[in-house]
Amino acid sequence: MHKIEPYWKWRGKYIAEEDSRSPFYGKFPNELQYTQTVYNYYIHPHWSDFGSNTLYLKVLFVDYNEKFAIIEFIGEWNDCIDNDIMYLKSDVIDSMLSEGIIKFVLIGENVLNFHGSDNEYYKEWHESIADDGGWVISIGFRQHVLEEMYKTELHHFIFMNERFLDIPWRNYRPQHLVELLENLLIKRLVQ
């Protein structure tokens, strides 16, 4: 797992650690030390810690004018034991909401498992953005992870349609990716 890096090709346009409005501002990783682990497996130091023991993230891109954020994850998303959504919501998402972000792209290619609990934090997140045209879309999550998310009824608050699963998101610029997702979302809602 230590060789899996967050997507880095957008770093020329955005670096969360250099963004004074980011919850990760000034938190530059020590690139010479591997200290974070998912269970007993070290992960690349570029993944950001937000309080979870098993889930890490990287804010890949934020556009305050267009009000969107793209976040990539690695590890095990465990709401049941570690309450990962509580940490994510209170330590990352709430900070972004206060800066006007209402559209969230969650990339889950490296999320190995999901263990759900209740969905109250997801519902609160959804309610705080829905009236303003905001949304949360998951892309690239593994099928078994999505199945567990469905069991927790997260699909009421996060769009996780099949159309979003295999999007080659690395081929797009951040703004074009969000535009594509919005167009797919509109098509889904119209049908």
**Which pLDDT does position 190 carry in this prediction?**
56
| Measured distance CA(62)–CA(69) in Å, rounded | 4
- The stretches in the chain having pLDDT less than 50 are none
By residue range, what is the domain housing residue 60?
16-190
Instruction: Count up the domains in the chain and report the number.
Output: 1
Q: Determine, yes or no, domain membership for 10.
A: no
Q: Which of 131, 139, 66, 73 is nearest to 103 (CA)?
A: 66
Beta-strand (E) ranges in the chain?
A: 37-38, 41-42, 55-63, 68-78, 103-115, 135-139
**DSSP 3-state helix, strand, coil percentages of the chain (rounded to 5)?**
35, 25, 45
**Which pLDDT does position 191 carry in this prediction?**
55
**What integer best gives the mean pLDDT of the chain?**
93
| Measured distance CA(86)–CA(93) in Å, rounded | 10
Q: Determine, yes or no, domain membership for 3.
A: no
The pTM for the full model equals: 0.95
Q: Determine, yes or no, domain membership for 8.
A: no
HSE value, Cβ hemisphere, 13 Å, CA-based, for 39? 7
- Please report, as a single letter, which amino acid is at residue 22: S
Token pair of 131, please?
């009236």
Q: Determine, yes or no, domain membership for 29.
A: yes
Q: Determine, yes or no, domain membership for 185.
A: yes
Radius of gyration of the chain (CA): 16
Q: Determine, yes or no, domain membership for 30.
A: yes
**Which pLDDT does position 130 carry in this prediction?**
93
Q: Which CATH number characterizes residue 77's domain?
A: 3.30.750.24
Q: Determine, yes or no, domain membership for 1.
A: no
